[in-house]
Amino acid sequence: MTRPAPTQSQFLHILSRNAAETAFLAALHPRPTRVEPVALDALLGRVLARDIASPVDAPPFDRALVDGFAVRAADLAQASGAEPCHLRLNAEVIACGTPPALTVGAGTATAIATGGPMPRGADAVVMIEFTEPADGGITVNRAVAPGAFVGFAGSDIASGQIMLRRGTLIGAREVAMLAAVGLDHAPVWAKPRIAILSTGDELVAAGEPLRPAAVYDSNGPVIVAALRENGCDPVHLGIVGDDATALQTALAAAHAAHDGVILSGGTSKGTGDVTVQAIAGLGAPGIVAHGVALKPGKPLCLAVCDGKPVVVLPGFPTSAIFTFHDLVAPALRLLAGLPRRSAAVVTAHLPVHLPSDLGRTEFAMVALLQGADGLVAHAVAKGSGAVTAFAQADGFVTVPALADGLSAGTQVQVTLFGSQVTAPSLAIIGSHCTGLDAVLGRMDDAGPLPRVLATGSQGGLAALRRRDCDIAPIHLLDADSGTYNTPFLSAGMRLIPGWRRMQGIVYRKGDARLEGRDVDAALATVLGDPDALMVNRNAGSGTRILLDRLLQGARAAGYWNQPASHNAVAAAVAQGRADWGMAIAPVAAALDLAFLPVADEHYDFAVWQEPRDAGALAAFEDALAAAADDLTALGFVPATSKEQA
Ligand SMILES: Nc1nc2c(c(=O)[nH]1)N[C@H]1C(S)=C(S)[C@@H](COP(=O)(O)OP(=O)(O)OC[C@H]3O[C@@H](n4cnc5c(N)ncnc54)[C@H](O)[C@@H]3O)O[C@H]1N2
Ligand code: MOO
């Protein structure tokens, strides 16, 4: 495999977001070019490439708009309830689809159905309700105006009239209009065919087994879907390794056969970053921006080669999708002939300080919850490498390049990902546990809409105190009293008992240093062996408090490795990055680790005694009770109120 030497020559010129966009659009001149006829059934979401004139009148003939009688209005000028007029009936009944045969002469009427073609001579329709049968004819007890209840030919759309304009996005209503004038096809802009390539030796396609040190390719599928959302026809070409020759070949072929190419990964400064070099030689003007003062998204690379966009999105999933939506999708929409996407914006306030890097326009993803004084925007800060932040957020806050953060309480504008806010009716903020998923799984689909934000126990309690949430799941050990959770409640709060989770020392099965010993003996052994590496937990977590009590001040090897979840501890031990740590039993079991029980951790739910929505809270408590067996099956011990008391 050929790898170029590491280079420091990349993105020396970081452009501002706007300068990068301007340069890209100036080089690309994005506008749609190819027109294709598309059948009515497949037109939804397409964009008209030409004005559409109606080939016929709609309706095609003058027709009755009510059931009744076609008449000459002048005959009924004097008609009233006191002095009804008598009309003779012509010998035909005009149903829908029946061309009339007889003329309506003076003093006569013809029975007609709604939608029936108006007969010659008649200029109005009188509703059947205002008539009575009489002497082989009818009496009419009110006057009608000329033209009453007649839909004239072409009154909806006249033949030759432009009924849909070029650039119209076709929805169901436009389909109805085309069908009403008999058009079974319409000329629309051909969708730009955009090739997608994911680069990186570490990537594995979804559905395949994961190799050690590999990750699943999420950028490829998300860009495919996002392209489709933006009027393009994505062609997913899969994964290419970090091999310069292979990448060059794949990129050249993709560029030649499609209207544009989107790659992801390999645009930053690593030794494997060969993507950018591969763009050289694809055609002028080439790269117009590499390095944009955006967070996430700094390494974005925008190029135009031979009139086609070639974009390298950053490898980190959040960065990739954000830069796609911010700088790439708008250009592609112009290429597809689509209108600009108008984003809905709402005002919310920040519950806590929102940190930000000075010098880069920063997009902070937020989840919206209903707080005591309006919407609250909680940052969903997971870093650019996260895939889930996007799905958990409702929108984003833009922090200007010249701000180094926004303080708690600041009113911010949130640009929504969707068209409206769906603020949940049951907000749960705090520590996350798989048992909580089991409880929420038992909630009635027709009941309150729950939303969980995992901030840890302390963050949850703080949110509950601010009344930004309804429930705070917590597991906090009070080191002095040795009790869980209760000592941390504020006045006016109560605890809904949740469950207990056995915490213990986890290690790989068969590790002779720990196997067959009790907790004290196992600890003594690992503390005496500098090669026995531990994995610790983050400060402030209940598990860390427990570990520090056990270690009694000892600094075991590995002490400063401090991830923030049980899963990360178990993964470190299972993968051999550490030899022991502390986690809950279900997580240890999932990775087939040995487990030395240490203590029962209490996972409970802090709530206000006077909740803002008692019904929603009751629904949660019902679900909690209903989930008892599910919790037991997961390895938790559901608490009963009696045990807790
Ligand atoms: N010394 C520096 N290092 C980095 C810088 C920098 O300025 N100096 N920039 C950082 C920033 S910001 C970002 S964003 C990332 C982006 O790097 P690349 O675009 O070169 O991406 P890779 O190195 O190939 O991968 C980064 C990361 O993303 C994962 N990845 C890649 N492709 C996919 C995919 N299709 N699906 C899911 N995940 C993917 C990859 O495994 C890596 O974990 O660089 C920083 N570094
Ligand atoms: O700029 Mo990178 O895209 O923040 O992670």
CATH code for position 178 = 3.90.105.10
Does any ligand 2 atom lie closer than 6 A to the CB of residue 17?
no
**Do 410 and 431 share a domain, yes or no?**
no
Cα distance between residue 492 and residue 607, in whole Å? 9
Pocket-testing residue among 247, 268, 276, 292, ligand 1, by greatest number of atoms within 8 A of Cβ:
268
Return the higher-pLDDT residue of 90 and 404: 90
C-alpha distances (whole Å) from 7 to each of 4, 243, 271, 276, 299 are: 8, 16, 8, 11, 14
The pLDDT assigned to 232 comes to 96
Q: Among the bound ligands, name the one nearest to the CA of residue 214.
A: 1
Note the pLDDT tens digit of each residue in 199-229: 999 999 999 999 989 999 999 999 999 999 9
**Do 407 and 551 share a domain, yes or no?**
no
**Running DSSP on this structure, what letter comes out for residue 67?**
S
- Tell me which of 382, 416, 450 is where a domain ends: 416
Does any ligand 2 atom lie closer than 6 A to the CB of residue 317?
no
Burial 7-39 (b: 16+ CB within 10 A, else e): eeebbeebbbbeebbebbbebbebebeeeeebe
Residue nearest to atom 5 of ligand 2 (CA): 384
**Do 49 and 79 share a domain, yes or no?**
no
Q: Among the bound ligands, name the one nearest to the CA of residue 381.
A: 2
Give the β-pairing of 215-216 and 203-204. Answer: parallel
Instruction: Determine the average pLDDT of the residues in 64-82.
Output: 96
Note the pLDDT tens digit of each residue in 538-563: 887 778 888 998 999 999 999 999 99
Residue 516 placed within a domain: yes
**Do 368 and 445 share a domain, yes or no?**
no
Which residue range is the domain that position 112 belongs to? 63-151
The pLDDT assigned to 371 comes to 84
**Do 260 and 384 share a domain, yes or no?**
no
Q: What is the DSSP string of 542-607?
A: HHHHHHHHHHTT---TTTT---SSHHHHHHHHHTTS-SEEEEEHHHHHHTT-EEEEEEEEEEEEEE
Q: Which ipTM was obtained for this model?
A: 0.95
Instruction: Determine the average pLDDT of the residues in 403-424.
Output: 87
Residue 619 placed within a domain: yes
Residue nearest to atom 26 of ligand 1 (CA): 315
Which atom of ligand 2 lies nearest, measured to the CA of 300?
Answer: 3
> Using only C-alpha atoms, what is the Rg of the chain?
35
Instruction: Determine the average pLDDT of the residues in 378-401.
Output: 81
> Given a cut of 60, is residue 645 above it in pLDDT?
no
Residue 10 placed within a domain: no
Does any ligand 2 atom lie closer than 6 A to the CB of residue 298?
yes
The pLDDT assigned to 1 comes to 42
**Do 239 and 92 share a domain, yes or no?**
no
Residue 587 placed within a domain: yes
**Do 584 and 447 share a domain, yes or no?**
yes
The pLDDT assigned to 270 comes to 60
- Tell me which of 392, 416, 440 is where a domain ends: 416
Return the higher-pLDDT residue of 298 and 331: 331
The pLDDT > 90 percentage for the chain reads 73
Residue 179 placed within a domain: yes
**Structure token digits, residue 201:** 């030796």
Give the β-pairing of 395-399 and 411-416. Answer: antiparallel
Any idea what the CATH number is for the domain that residue 224 is in? 3.40.980.10
Three-state DSSP at 182 gives coil
Q: Among the bound ligands, name the one nearest to the CA of residue 357.
A: 2
Cα(218) to centroid of ligand 1, in Å? Answer: 13
The pLDDT assigned to 644 comes to 42
Which atom of ligand 2 lies nearest, measured to the CA of 383?
Answer: 5
> Given a cut of 90, is residue 494 above it in pLDDT?
yes
Note the pLDDT tens digit of each residue in 447-476: 888 888 888 888 899 999 999 999 999 998
The pLDDT assigned to 161 comes to 93
Note the pLDDT tens digit of each residue in 3-48: 444 444 555 588 999 999 999 999 999 999 999 999 999 999 999 9
Any idea what the CATH number is for the domain that residue 390 is in? 2.40.340.10
Which atom of ligand 2 lies nearest, measured to the CA of 268?
Answer: 2
Note the pLDDT tens digit of each residue in 248-303: 999 999 999 999 999 998 776 665 467 778 898 899 999 999 999 988 888 899 99
Residue 421 placed within a domain: no
Q: What is the DSSP string of 364-423?
A: EEEEEEEETTEEEEEE----TT-SSHHHH-SEEEEEPTT-SEE-TT-EEEEEESSSS---
- Give, for 434, the enclosing helix (H) or strand (E): helix 434-441
**Do 102 and 219 share a domain, yes or no?**
no
Cα(573) to centroid of ligand 1, in Å? Answer: 26
**Do 527 and 435 share a domain, yes or no?**
yes
Return the higher-pLDDT residue of 98 and 62: 62
**Do 479 and 578 share a domain, yes or no?**
yes
Q: Which residues contact 395 (CB under 8 A, 6 or more apart)?
A: 346, 365, 366, 368, 414, 415, 416, 417
Pocket-testing residue among 10, 384, 387, ligand 2, by greatest number of atoms within 8 A of Cβ:
384
Query: Are the C-beta atoms of 278 and 301 separated by less than 8 Å?
Result: no
Tell me phi and psi for residue 11, to 5 degrees: 25, 65
Cα(51) to centroid of ligand 2, in Å? Answer: 43
> Given a cut of 80, is residue 389 above it in pLDDT?
no
Query: Are the C-beta atoms of 101 and 92 separated by less than 8 Å?
Result: yes
The pLDDT > 70 percentage for the chain reads 96
The pLDDT assigned to 432 comes to 82
Tell me phi and psi for residue 2, to 5 degrees: -90, 125
- Tell me which of 336, 371, 404 is where a domain ends: 336
The pLDDT assigned to 127 comes to 97
**Do 431 and 579 share a domain, yes or no?**
yes
The pLDDT assigned to 273 comes to 62
Cα distance between residue 549 and residue 321, in whole Å? 44
Any idea what the CATH number is for the domain that residue 75 is in? 2.170.190.11
C-alpha distances (whole Å) from 159 to each of 120, 174, 432 are: 22, 17, 64
Residue 363 placed within a domain: yes
- Give, for 633, the enclosing helix (H) or strand (E): helix 628-633
Which atom of ligand 1 lies nearest, measured to the CA of 202?
Answer: 41
Cα(336) to centroid of ligand 1, in Å? Answer: 29
Structural domain total, the chain: 5
Instruction: Determine the average pLDDT of the residues in 602-611.
Output: 96
Which atom of ligand 2 lies nearest, measured to the CA of 314?
Answer: 3
**Do 125 and 237 share a domain, yes or no?**
no
The pLDDT assigned to 216 comes to 95
Helices 434-441 and 614-626, packing angle to 10 deg: 110
Residue 538 placed within a domain: yes
Cα(247) to centroid of ligand 1, in Å? Answer: 17
Cα distance between residue 396 and residue 394, in whole Å? 7
